[in-house]
Amino acid sequence: MRLNEFLDHRGVLRSLDFDSVSFDPKRIFVVSDVPTGVTRGGHAHKTTTQLLVCLRGRISVEIYTSPKSLMSKEIRAGESVEVSPMNWDSQTFLTEGSVLLVLCSTEFSEKDYIRSWSEWKATL
């Protein structure tokens, strides 16, 4: 999904209408100040759907729907990708100053996370 974009001499305004999101957002957070080349994520969620929105820079997103099925996508400012429950994902920050906004379908719960690749594979 691409955010709405309005550009003029004053800059760029990007917006996201929540009715275009496939879920009702319950939590939002921002990941920033990540050194270039560093990978974040590296886990799956049991019930949470996430919308990963690049606000600045370039971020490579890898999503595994199964151990042998990888979808890789590079998102730039104004672009997003949805991560469904039980999909393993990671994000590599490709440029200095990249900023990632994440909308979640659930409130935070440590019990929702699967942080081990082998544990995730065993649940499929």
111 in helix, strand or coil?
Answer: helix
pLDDT at 73: 97
Give the percent of the chain with pLDDT over 90: 90
Write out the DSSP string of 23-76.
Answer: S---EEEEE--PPTT-EEEEEEESS--EEEEEEESEEEEEEEEETTEEEEEEEE
User: Can you list the domains of the chain with their CATH numbers?
Assistant: 23-123 (2.60.120.10)
pLDDT in tens, 103-112: 999 999 999 9
> Smallest Cα–Cα separation from 107: which of 47, 17, 32, 51?
47
pLDDT in tens, 66-112: 999 999 999 999 999 999 999 999 999 999 999 999 999 999 999 99
